[in-house]
């Protein structure tokens, strides 16, 4: 970097600090409110993240194991070099989370924290992007309110706290949108926009039908407004997008049997064991609509890792305000179209339609239609903002226009505090079983103290993906020893690999030399009683017991 450039950046920083110091009282209050909201957002996403929810989910674990093997050998669990899509369970897994987690797995080891840093970072950056978009296109008061409201939404907090690979999709689409909007004013940002839109294809395969719709609709809208020009940077953006999307297109051709799989030193396009070709279909629109409507109406899909019945996606009281926000959105869109003005509302509507499209084309749960909920949260915030600033439109109350927002802020702050208390008490106990609470400590003890012992029998509840991650199984050893129970299959199940065997019979007798890793469901079984009676030592943590011979 040149000296003059360093001085420029230094001057900009100095000017920004000086501007903050010289700000008037209202601006300082807004900065304080922004800082307070940011602290709440970060704290709610990092506090006890190593242990809540539980240890790790099996999808987290397989993504993490692939991050580990890619870091150390350049191969995934099926031996493909730098694949654009992981074979994983047999029918595939999105690869972006694994690649982004590589530096953290290398630096911090194979634990829950290493897999949850990326979701936290993406979540916070998403909310900051939403804030700056709202600040630019609406006003700073609404931006602050939306930043707070989206930041305390249970769905976004829960999404942020564990490493489900598909949960990165809303973040990458938001980053793509952020730079797309900046590109309207400075075309160079279109390059960054297509990078994030292109990379979003590798966060979640289900959005492959949504991303072209979003990009196409947004570009068409700018063309109609004559806000986009086909110059060199625009054409370069199109080329970059095509290059990023090409592996996904080739992946479809490979797995539909049109071409052979591709194995290059720097990229693989794998032929999956089984291909979920019929997931996206027009045949089940009525059933899919009913299912999607039920999720939106109840803010719950019955899966405790996605939602809680008590608090819903963005607090159940918010749904009527989302409807008000939708009405306000449509009215504003119509008015701006008539005036031929640029409408951020139309852009939001495009993203809303994309989420609804996914919900109609496939049988969804909350994480499978995750790109829908950020637009819905924006609608709910818009509805709340419109209702509680309405007094400002009466002339004699104009000075109180924004003070009305104090009411929803206080109400939702109470909701947030109650949710946080619930999340780290009752919910922590509930989700611990699903996320195998205690298994990490048991496996760490086994690896560090009993690695030289004989065979290890593991309860199937632990799932082989978690064991692969915790023991850092060498990829060549795993591939040479793995025995499947159901190969080929959409979701492969493993009977054994290396010295680890699964599906422990509770009626068997211990052999006196093996190690047994059991969960609470084995309490009272012949095996656990025999282990205790025969003098086996025990180490326990959470829901798991490690029995080993003296």
For residue 330, is it within any domain? Answer: no
Q: What is the pLDDT of residue 7?
A: 59
Q: What is the pLDDT of residue 24?
A: 77
How buried is residue 406: exposed, middle or buried, by Cβ count under 10 Å (0-12/13-18/19+)?
A: exposed
Q: What is the pLDDT of residue 483?
A: 97
Specify the range with the lowest mean pLDDT, choosing from 28-37, 274-283, 286-295, 500-509.
274-283
User: Could you tell me what percent of the chain has a pLDDT over 70?
Assistant: 94
| DSSP output for 153-169 | -HHHHHHHTS--GGGGH
Q: What confidence tier does 8 reach under pLDDT thresholds 50, 70, 90?
A: low
- Cα gap 30→28, rounded to integer Å: 5
Q: Please report which residue ranges of 58-168 form alpha helices under DSSP H.
A: 58-73, 96-108, 112-137, 140-151, 154-160
pLDDT in tens, 430-447: 999 999 999 999 999 999
Cα 85 off chain centre by: 17
- Cα gap 97→120, rounded to integer Å: 12
Average pLDDT over residues 529-549: 95
Q: What is the pLDDT of residue 232?
A: 83
Average pLDDT over residues 29-47: 95
Neighbours of 195 (CB within 10 A): 18
Neighbours of 216 (CB within 10 A): 11
Strands 515-519 and 456-458: parallel
- How many alpha carbons lie under 13 Å from residue 203 in its C-beta half-sphere? 30
- Cα gap 334→97, rounded to integer Å: 39
Specify the range with the lowest mean pLDDT, choosing from 107-111, 232-236, 543-547.
232-236
- Cα gap 427→417, rounded to integer Å: 14
Average pLDDT over residues 309-327: 97
- Whether the per-residue pLDDT at 456 is higher than 70: the answer is yes
For residue 136, is it within any domain? Answer: no
Strand (E) or helix (H) holding 346: helix 344-361
- Whether the per-residue pLDDT at 201 is higher than 60: the answer is yes
For residue 502, is it within any domain? Answer: yes
- Whether the per-residue pLDDT at 202 is higher than 80: the answer is yes
Which residue range forms the structural domain that includes residue 542?
434-548
Q: What is the pLDDT of residue 39?
A: 97
Task: Let me know: does 354 contact 375? Beta carbons within 8 Å.
Answer: no
- Whether the per-residue pLDDT at 18 is higher than 80: the answer is no
pLDDT in tens, 243-257: 999 999 999 999 999
Q: What is the pLDDT of residue 404?
A: 83
Task: Let me know: does 134 contact 294? Beta carbons within 8 Å.
Answer: no
For residue 117, is it within any domain? Answer: no
For residue 525, is it within any domain? Answer: yes
Neighbours of 544 (CB within 10 A): 25
Average pLDDT over residues 306-319: 96
Q: What is the pLDDT of residue 373?
A: 98
Report angle CA 159, 164, 168 to the nearest 5 degrees. Answer: 70
For residue 205, is it within any domain? Answer: no
Residues in contact with 335: Cβ distance below 8 Å, sequence separation at least 6, in sequence order: none
What's the chain's average pLDDT?
93
Q: What is the pLDDT of residue 16?
A: 63
Q: What is the pLDDT of residue 42?
A: 98
For residue 240, is it within any domain? Answer: no
Strands 85-86 and 500-502: unpaired
- Cα gap 448→470, rounded to integer Å: 11
Q: Please report which residue ranges of 161-276 form alpha helices under DSSP H.
A: 169-185, 189-200, 210-224, 232-255
Question: Considering its fold, how many domains does the chain have in total?
Answer: 1
For residue 475, is it within any domain? Answer: yes
| Nearest in space to 520 (alpha carbons), one of 451, 401, 438 | 438
Q: What confidence tier does 396 reach under pLDDT thresholds 50, 70, 90?
A: low
What residue ranges in 439-533 does DSSP mark as E strands?
456-458, 483-484, 494-497, 500-502, 515-519
Q: What confidence tier does 17 reach under pLDDT thresholds 50, 70, 90?
A: low
- Whether the per-residue pLDDT at 14 is higher than 80: the answer is no
Residue 536: helix, strand or coil by DSSP?
coil
Q: What is the pLDDT of residue 540?
A: 97
**pLDDT top residue among 514 and 395:** 514
Strand (E) or helix (H) holding 546: strand 544-548
């Amino acid at each position: 970097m040149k000296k003059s450039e360093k001085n420029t950046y230094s001057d900009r920083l100095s000017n920004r600090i000086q501007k903050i110091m010289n700000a008037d009282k209202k601006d300082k209050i807004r900065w304080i409110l922004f800082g307070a909201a940011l602290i709440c957002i970060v704290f709610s996403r990092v506090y006890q993240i190593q242990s809540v929810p539980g240890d790790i989910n099996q999808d987290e674990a397989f993504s993490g194991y692939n991050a580990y093997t890619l870091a150390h050998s350049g191969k995934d669990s099926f031996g493909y070099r730098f694949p654009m899509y992981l074979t994983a369970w047999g029918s595939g897994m999105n690869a972006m989370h694994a690649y982004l987690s590589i530096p953290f797995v290398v630096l911090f080891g194979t634990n829950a924290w290493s897999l949850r840093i990326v979701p936290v970072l993406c979540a916070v950056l998403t909310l900051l992007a939403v804030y700056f978009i709202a600040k630019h296109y609406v006003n700073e008061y609404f931006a602050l309110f939306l930043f707070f409201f989206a930041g305390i939404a249970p769905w976004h907090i829960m999404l942020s706290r564990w490493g489900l690979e598909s949960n990165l999709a809303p973040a990458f689409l938001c980053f793509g949108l952020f730079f797309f909007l900046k590109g309207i004013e400075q075309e160079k940002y279109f390059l960054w926009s297509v990078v994030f839109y292109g990379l979003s294809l590798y966060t979640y395969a289900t959005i492959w039908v949504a991303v072209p719709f979003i990009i196409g609709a947004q570009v068409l809208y700018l063309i109609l407004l004559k806000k986009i020009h086909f110059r060199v940077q625009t054409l370069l953006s199109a080329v970059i997008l095509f290059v990023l999307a090409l592996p996904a297109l080739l992946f479809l051709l490979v797995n539909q049997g049109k071409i052979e799989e591709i194995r290059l030193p720097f990229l693989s396009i794998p032929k999956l064991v089984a291909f979920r070709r019929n997931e996206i279909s027009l045949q089940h629109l009525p059933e899919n609509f009913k299912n999607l409507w039920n999720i939106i109406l109840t803010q719950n899909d019955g899966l405790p890792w996605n939602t809680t019945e008590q608090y819903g996606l963005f607090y159940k009281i918010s749904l009527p305000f989302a409807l008000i926000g939708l009405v306000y959105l449509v009215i504003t869109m119509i008015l701006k179209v008539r005036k031929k003005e640029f409408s951020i509302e139309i852009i939001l509507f495009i993203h809303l339609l994309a989420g609804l499209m996914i919900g109609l084309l496939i049988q969804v749960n909350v994480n499978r239609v995750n790109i829908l909920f950020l637009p819905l949260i924006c609608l709910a915030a818009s509805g709340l903002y419109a209702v509680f600033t309405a007094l400002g439109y009466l002339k004699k109350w104009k000075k109180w226009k924004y003070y009305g927002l104090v009411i929803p802020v206080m109400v939702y702050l109470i909701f947030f505090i109650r949710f946080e208390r619930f999340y780290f008490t009752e919910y922590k106990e509930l989700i611990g079983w699903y996320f195998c609470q205690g298994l990490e400590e048991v496996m760490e003890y086994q690896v560090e103290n009993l690695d030289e012992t004989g065979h290890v029998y593991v309860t199937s509840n632990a799932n082989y993906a978690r064991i692969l991650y915790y023991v850092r199984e060498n990829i060549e050893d795993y591939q040479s020893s793995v025995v499947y129970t159901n190969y080929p299959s959409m979701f492969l199940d493993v009977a054994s690999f290396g010295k680890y065997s699964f599906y422990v019979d509770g009626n068997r007798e211990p052999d006196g030399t093996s190690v047994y890793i059991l969960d609470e469901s084995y309490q009272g079984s012949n095996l656990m009683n025999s282990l205790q009676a025969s003098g086996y030592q025990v180490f326990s943590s959470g829901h798991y017991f490690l029995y080993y011979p003296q």
